[in-house]
């Protein structure tokens, strides 16, 4: 690509960062980084009623957590393009200038229809099995008559919106980076649409064109749900005599299990970055998973870091088919990342023990190596998120369950059980503290097996019970080695006296 790439992520601060929006941000970022272009953040906050306090901050924090940085944005303004919040741009009159231009050219007009009239029209259309569409109120009227009608409405205190006069029967066509050739006729738009609301704010489809143009955006990569907006945006580019950027609409994200569109309202599926962050998913894994939603490199490999994604990025490799959101795959990717980045994740894993109240912060810091071993033996390699470690490690590393009556009867009160216990106790007491390793303990148990001619569960379960109170659990010699000789002897003493 020879032109200088300028792409943007344009969140509306209406809530937390959703997987779908994170994907938009990530691919625009990859596009920019791959081609040495610029990645811009613009805040689309003109829908005042939907803005939530802290929405912008939370979006940006989560982007940063994912490892996505930006070259320009509200906090990094380039004077040539600032400001980067649409409400601030509105205050500067940036949109008004173009609204006025379109009004002056007769490409837009003030519309005074009340909500009640609009509602009645929609209902009548529904009753007549028509698609909802706006009915032009000044049809057949001369310029003079229109002026008069508007003056009357104005005098009656009605507040107008500004509507764009949609060209009749015009095909809007573009070569979509993802979907190929797309063509939508102006008939499908639903009639003249609002470009400026009664409160003076521009609508999304209008503001986005003005900003993308003024910010020299070359490519717009966004979700499939925006396809129907693109013809509206193209007509504004045409009306103002501007060249539109290239568009790419990335595949719809669907739930793997149901094949249905991922919906923000579906509370069964975790779909906000923050939720995964809280569960202890790694940013590298989230990035990795999202980077494969609707895009794939050549080959079978699935684990990539950001640098590799930047190198591999190719705008020709977006998939047309729906992108499957598969939580199991995400869990697998996170597990792969946790294993390969174990040293880096360890403080977070130990932090989970602190969070669960199993250990104090001070102790966790002082004996970090010890807790790292516990985490390892408790089964870190099998978990999908760091938050799963505390329940796994709680027993027997921090607490012991009481031995069940059934286990006692079956494994401890038998002749074999008694033999094993007596022999194990005698031998383990003799094992020197500095040789209290998993290998030495394993060897000791193997010797008992030979000496007593008892093997399998009748050998292991009594030992497990008197040391950990459970007949199941992680590798026993490793548990004992990590917890140490005095812990082991203490437990035995408490159990059998
Ligand atoms: N603010 C829009 C959104 O949140 C941006 C869409 C676009 O990229 O044009 O979906």
Element (H, E) at 56: helix 55-66
| 68 domain residue, yes or no | no
| 296 domain residue, yes or no | yes
Residues 292 and 222 in one domain: no
Q: Which of 6, 18, 44, 55 to mutate to test the pocket of ligand 1 (most atoms within 8 A of CB)?
A: 44
Residues 215 and 321 in one domain: no
**Region 136-162 average pLDDT:** 96
| 412 domain residue, yes or no | yes
Strand partners, 214: none
Q: Considering only CA atoms, which of 19, 1, 13 is closest in space to residue 266? A: 19
208 lines ligand 1 (CB under 6 A): yes
Would you place residue 315 in the very low, low, confident or very high pLDDT band (cuts 50, 70, 90)? Answer: very high
What is the rounded CA–CA span in Å between residue 421 and residue 181?
77
Which domain covers residue 469, as residue numbers? 405-496
Average confidence score pLDDT of the chain: 96
Query: What pLDDT does 1 receive?
Result: 64
Q: Which of 23, 89, 208 to mutate to test the pocket of ligand 1 (most atoms within 8 A of CB)?
A: 208
Would you place residue 267 in the very low, low, confident or very high pLDDT band (cuts 50, 70, 90)? Answer: confident
The least confident of 137-141, 212-216, 261-265 is 261-265
Query: Ligand 1, closest atom to CA 212?
Result: 9
| 190 domain residue, yes or no | yes
Q: Which of 24, 39, 58 to mutate to test the pocket of ligand 1 (most atoms within 8 A of CB)?
A: 24
pLDDT tens, position by position, 60-90: 999 999 999 999 999 999 999 999 999 999 9
Distance 316 CA to ligand 1 centre (A): 22
Number of domains observed in the structure of the chain: 4
pLDDT tens, position by position, 106-136: 999 999 999 999 999 999 999 999 999 999 9
Would you place residue 469 in the very low, low, confident or very high pLDDT band (cuts 50, 70, 90)? Answer: very high
**Region 482-497 average pLDDT:** 95
CATH code for the domain in which residue 131 is found = 3.40.50.620
Closest residue CA from atom 6 of ligand 1: 10
Query: What pLDDT does 265 receive?
Result: 84
SS3 content of the chain, % helix, strand, coil (to 5): 55, 10, 35
Query: Ligand 1, closest atom to CA 233?
Result: 9
Query: What pLDDT does 319 receive?
Result: 96
Tell me how far the alpha carbon of residue 45 is from its chain's centroid.
Answer: 21
207 lines ligand 1 (CB under 6 A): no
What is the rounded CA–CA span in Å between residue 267 and residue 275?
11
Distance 36 CA to ligand 1 centre (A): 23
């Amino acid at each position: 690509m020879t032109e200088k790439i300028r792409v943007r992520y344009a969140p509306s601060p209406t809530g937390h960062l959703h997987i779908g929006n994170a994907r938009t941000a990530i691919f625009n970022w990859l596009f920019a980084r791959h081609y040495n272009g610029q990645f811009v953040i613009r805040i689309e906050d003109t829908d005042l009623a939907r803005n939530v306090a802290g929405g912008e901050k939370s979006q940006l924090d989560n982007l940063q957590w994912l490892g996505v940085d930006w070259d320009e944005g509200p906090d990094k303004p380039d004077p040539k393009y600032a400001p980067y919040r649409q409400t601030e741009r509105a205050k500067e009159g940036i949109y008004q200038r173009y609204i006025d231009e379109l009004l002056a050219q007769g490409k837009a007009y003030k519309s005074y229809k009340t909500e009640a009239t609009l509602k009645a029209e929609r209902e009548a259309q529904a009753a007549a099995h028509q698609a909802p569409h706006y009915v032009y109120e000044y049809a057949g009227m001369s310029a003079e008559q229109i002026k008069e009608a508007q003056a009357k409405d104005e005098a009656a205190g009605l507040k107008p919106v500004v509507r764009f006069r949609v060209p009749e029967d015009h095909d809007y066509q573009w070569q979509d980076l993802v979907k190929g050739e797309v063509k939508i006729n102006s008939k499908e738009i639903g009639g003249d649409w609002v470009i400026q609301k009664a409160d003076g704010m521009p609508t999304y489809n209008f503001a986005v064109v003005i900003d993308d143009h003024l910010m020299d955006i070359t490519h717009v990569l966004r979700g499939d749900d925006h396809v129907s907006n693109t013809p509206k945006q193209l007509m504004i580019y045409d009306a103002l005599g501007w060249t539109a950027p290239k568009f790419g609409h990335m595949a719809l994200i669907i739930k793997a299990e149901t094949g249905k569109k991922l919906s923000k309202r579906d509370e069964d599926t975790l779909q906000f970055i923050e939720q995964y962050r809280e569960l202890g998913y790694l940013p590298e894994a989230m990035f990795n998973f999202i980077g494969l939603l609707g895009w794939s490199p050549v080959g079978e490999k699935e684990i990539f870091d950001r640098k590799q994604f930047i190198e591999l990025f190719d705008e020709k490799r977006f998939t047309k088919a729906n992108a499957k959101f598969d939580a199991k795959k995400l869990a697998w990717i996170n597990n792969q990342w946790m294993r390969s980045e174990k040293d880096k994740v360890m403080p977070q894993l130990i932090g989970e023990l602190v969070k669960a109240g199993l250990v104090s912060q001070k102790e966790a810091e002082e004996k970090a190596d010890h807790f790292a071993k516990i985490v390892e033996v408790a089964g870190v390699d099998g978990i999908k998120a760091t938050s799963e470690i505390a329940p796994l490690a709680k027993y027997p590393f921090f607490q012991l369950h009481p031995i069940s009556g059934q286990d006692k009867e079956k494994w401890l009160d038998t002749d074999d059980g008694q033999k094993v216990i007596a022999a194990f106790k005698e031998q383990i007491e003799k094992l020197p503290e500095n040789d209290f390793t998993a290998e030495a303990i394993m060897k000791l148990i193997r010797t008992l097996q030979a000496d007593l001619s008892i093997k399998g569960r009748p050998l292991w379960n009594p030992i497990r019970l008197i040391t950990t109170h459970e007949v199941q659990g992680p590798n026993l010699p490793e548990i004992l080695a990590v917890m140490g000789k005095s812990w082991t002897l203490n437990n035995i003493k408490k159990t059998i006296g």
